[in-house]
Structure 1
């Protein structure tokens, strides 16, 4: 859909709500995704197959990888999520930032041209991060096979590495290493999931890019990392 039409639809509450309803019905009955009640999926969002989005969610300007799911009451914007991810309930992406030093005030009227009653005609502080990829609009990246626990807040611009785990109730304010476990407010490193050589193997092997047929064939090996590495059908 052309950007001009999107802007027109989003500027009208009736049309916007009708578009959310239409998208939800299309994804549920035509694309066979599982979409909860009162969930809002944006016009430019992408669902890549066998997805579940729980009730009362919003998923705006974002992409959901194959077989990944989002639990109820989760609100994400400008987020790219990889394959086979588990996103818990009440997870939120936090947008924008304010200056914490040098500026006398943290109020946007002193640094932002986007603010309605701004005192400045020039943007003096970058409120949003740059896209994670110049070819895509997403500002936050959640890798593949990532588990984000309930009630996690993710600051915009953060990248969560493949295979990582974020404990429930955490505030993620910086990048998370692949196959690491973090938790707390702010989130801190707790431990790695596997030995260094095992992590290296998984990051190179990228099982989440394999076909469903391959995954079904090898699924019994997923319960033991050592058996997986030694016996996997490459």
Structure 2
């Protein structure tokens, strides 16, 4: 298989290069996929309607069907082989005696066990490590860090570091007051010129300096 990335230092911005209408990506978010060779949409996004194999999903499910969506904010860094699992429980209902999704053409009395878990939403300036797994319907706040190979099944608060399987909070990146300031100013929404001017603060731990700057 031809590697879509030149080397482990190479990465690709995702906005403008996504085909699935149910994926929304913010400015400057990138995927570094050298070790898994394939494009972000082909290997990282799993079970999401609207991909190449399910392009006629609206004809099958109708215009009013609630589709899962994957939304990723601005300035996010996504490591090689990270996975975003969609499609809720994928028809495996763990409250029933059997979790098997029976084919209704073979078993006409089968019930549909599918249950949505909602959109998966990743905030801004989030770092997702290599081979991390983000489960359906999870919300990850701005500035969070997801450790390599973490399995995230619960929402993650802003500026929180999560690792392990199941994913657990390791620590907050900053104090509560500093996090409040960062969420107030939302630097990722500034114009490029303003971000560039503020980079001496953004590329430091001087949160008060950045807050005073803006």
The match for 2:194 is 214
What is the aligned counterpart of 1:230 among 189, 194, 209?
A: 209
Judging changes above 3 Å, is the alpha-carbon distance between structure 1 residues 165 and 119 closer, same or farther for their aligned structure 2 residues? farther
* 3-state SS in 2 of match to 1:202: helix
Post-superposition CA distance 1:26-61 (Å, at most 9, x none): xxxxxxxxxx849xxxxxxxxxxxx624xxx98632
| CA displacement 1:151-187 (0-9 Å, x = unmatched) | 0111111111110000000111111111000011111
SS in 1 for 2:169: strand
Note closer, same or farther for the CA distance 1:59–1:164 as it changes in structure 2 (3 Å cut): farther
Q: Of the candidates 66, 80, 85, which is equivalent to residue 94 of structure 1?
A: 85
2:203 & 2:25 partners in 1: Cα distance?
Answer: 25
Total equivalences in the alignment: 169
Q: TM-score, normalised by structure 1?
A: 0.65
> Pairwise CA RMSD of aligned residues?
2.5
> Which consecutive residues of structure 2, in runs of 5 or more, have no partner in the other structure?
6-11, 49-68
- The residue aligned with 1:69 is 30
Query: Alignment partner for residue 13 of structure 2, among 37, 52, 59?
Result: 52
* CA contact 1:108–1:118 (8 Å) conserved in 2: no
Corresponding residue of 2:143? 163
- Say yes or no: does 1:143 pair with 2:105: no
- Who is 1:200 aligned against? 180
Unmatched runs of 5 consecutive residues or more in structure 1: 1-35, 39-50, 131-138
1:182 aligns with 2:162: yes
1:213 and 1:92 mapped to 2: Cα distance?
33
Q: Do the aligned partners of residues 203 and 104 (structure 1) sit closer, same or farther apart at CA in structure 2, a change above 3 Å counting?
A: same
Alpha-carbon distance in 2 for matches of 1:129, 1:230: 40
Which residue in 2 is equivalent to 1:105? 98
The TM-score, its normalising length taken from structure 2, stands at 0.70
Note if contact 1:171-1:184 (Cα within 8 Å) is conserved in structure 2.
yes
The Cα offsets for residues 103-142 of structure 1, whole Å up to 9 and x where unpaired, read as 1111011xxx8x654544653x343223xxxxxxxx2100
- 1:152 & 1:219 partners in 2: Cα distance? 28
